[in-house]
Amino acid sequence: MSKPAEWAFPEELQPAPESCAFDLGRVLDALVLLHAEVPEDAFTADILGTERVGNGVVIGPDGLVLTIGYLVTEARRIWLTTNKGTAIEAFPLAYDFATGFGLVQPLGRLDLPALPRGSSADCAVGDEVLLVGHGGRAHALRTRIADKREFAGYWEYVLDEAIYTAPAHPQWGGAALVGSAGQLIGIGSLLVQEAVDGETVQGNMIVPIDLLEPIIADLLRSGQADRPPRPWLGMYTTQTGAQCVVAGLADGGPAQRAGVKQGDHVVEVAGEAVTSLGDMFRKVWSIGPAGSEIPLTLVRDGAVMRTRLRSADRGDFLKKPQLH
């Protein structure tokens, strides 16, 4: 991602204050720039990098910041910067693997307005919305909801109904999706390809804010949702057509230890046929919590192989946050 000061959306793509039914200035000021530093020996350093930059949105009167979790996982130091240039160090409170949300607590006063939370149920495909990053109106994009559908990610992640917007925001990570009433309805996660009016264009995948409400009290209390951790395989799987193919393996993860190889096709979980990437993950998770034994049927070079993986808790592989 480029530095925030180096670009701006064209004027016609920015929201006009007079066209908003809410205080646009307060919405823009609720966004902060998030800069995280991660140790070089962190489990996620090779994939996500040791310096991560994105956005966060203030959602609480005490300055509590909501972001996308991959920005802050294993972070050693986090800095939040306001639109006025004030920089405050912060502490990573939580990263929920199931939703992808991260919570960050500033260690000083941000003195910023909190963005009220709405519901993604209040927006429909075709609605105009705003995708807002740190940097004021120049980094706020008028966009539309292109679709609402399942998302399955190779890192063992599924959303039953993600929000897809187009055109795309180039600094999507942790950006705030804001509905017509000026409420937060989602957090930016990815850059994706979307079909709009028969053409394929770049868009963003957004995590709906509704997923936060059932778990936020748990995250604030203990740093994790009050549910058993899902079984994690450490097997980066992609969907090619109707086939689920192992594209990579986490070093020292359960799949690697069990002898799974890059290029293997996953055709069954516990004897049941796999129909899609999301279906595969759901079948794995339905077997039991982290630590459960996961039977897989693989096809390698045309030969059928059966193996049993002892799954793990993904969190056990990650560095824990420490106060300085």
Task: Give the pLDDT of residue 6.
Answer: 79
Exposure on the CB side of residue 228, measured as CA atoms within 13 A: 12
Task: Give the pLDDT of residue 307.
Answer: 97
CB-count burial class (<10 Å; 0-12, 13-18, 19+) for 306 = exposed
Per DSSP, the three-state class of 272 is strand
Task: Specify if 274 maps to a domain.
Answer: yes
User: pLDDT grade, residue 323 (50/70/90)?
Assistant: low
CATH number at residue 309: 2.30.42.10
Which residue, of 114, 149, 183, is where some domain finishes? 114
Q: Do residues 71 and 56 share a domain?
A: yes
- Mean pLDDT score of the chain: 95
Q: Do residues 26 and 102 share a domain?
A: yes
Task: Specify if 12 maps to a domain.
Answer: no
Alpha-helix runs per DSSP H in 223-276 = 254-257
- Between the alpha carbon of residue 143 and those of residues 1, 106, 137, 245, the distances in Å are 19, 30, 14, 34
Quick one: which H or E segment has residue 21?
Answer: none
Task: Give the pLDDT of residue 1.
Answer: 39
Rounded mean pLDDT, 313-322: 91
Quick one: which H or E segment has residue 186?
Answer: strand 184-196
Q: Do residues 239 and 300 share a domain?
A: yes
Rounded mean pLDDT, 105-109: 96
Least confident range of 1-5, 75-79, 118-122, 210-214 = 1-5
End-to-end CA distance of the chain: 28
Query: DSSP class of residue 285?
Result: H
Task: Specify if 153 maps to a domain.
Answer: yes
Which residue, of 71, 89, 114, is where some domain finishes? 114
Rounded mean pLDDT, 126-152: 97
Query: DSSP class of residue 232?
Result: B
Which residue, of 45, 79, 114, is where some domain finishes? 114
Residues 102, 64 contacting (CB under 8 angstroms): no
Residue identified by tokens 């106060």 is 323
Q: Answer whether the bond into residue 15 is a cis peptide, omega within 30°.
A: no
Closest to 102 in 3D by CA, of 137, 50, 54:
54
Q: Do residues 37 and 56 share a domain?
A: yes
Rounded mean pLDDT, 252-266: 97
Q: How far apart are CA 259 and CA 218, in angstroms?
A: 37
Residues 9-61 pLDDT 10s: 999 999 999 999 999 999 999 999 999 999 999 999 999 999 999 999 999 99
Q: Is pLDDT of 2 > 80?
A: no
Rounded mean pLDDT, 270-283: 98
Among residues of the chain, what percentage have pLDDT more than 90?
A: 93
Task: Specify if 225 maps to a domain.
Answer: no
Task: Specify if 322 maps to a domain.
Answer: no
Rounded mean pLDDT, 210-222: 97
CATH number at residue 199: 2.40.10.10
User: pLDDT grade, residue 5 (50/70/90)?
Assistant: low
Task: Specify if 17 maps to a domain.
Answer: no
Q: How far apart are CA 218 and CA 224, in angstroms?
A: 6
Q: Do residues 300 and 243 share a domain?
A: yes
Task: Give the pLDDT of residue 212.
Answer: 98
Q: Do residues 179 and 132 share a domain?
A: yes
Task: Specify if 76 maps to a domain.
Answer: yes
Rounded mean pLDDT, 185-212: 93
Task: Specify if 222 maps to a domain.
Answer: no
* Domain housing 181: 120-211
Residues 35, 53 contacting (CB under 8 angstroms): yes
Q: Is pLDDT of 194 > 90?
A: no
Rounded mean pLDDT, 303-314: 97
Q: How far apart are CA 124 and CA 192, in angstroms?
A: 19
pTM: 0.95
Q: Do residues 246 and 188 share a domain?
A: no
Closest to 75 in 3D by CA, of 287, 250, 319:
319
Per DSSP, the three-state class of 140 is strand
Count how many domains the chain has. 3
Provide the 10 A C-beta neighbour count for residue 136.
18
User: pLDDT grade, residue 166 (50/70/90)?
Assistant: very high
CB-count burial class (<10 Å; 0-12, 13-18, 19+) for 315 = middle
Provide the 10 A C-beta neighbour count for residue 261.
13
Residues 237, 284 contacting (CB under 8 angstroms): no
Q: Is pLDDT of 124 > 90?
A: yes
Closest to 113 in 3D by CA, of 61, 162, 172:
61
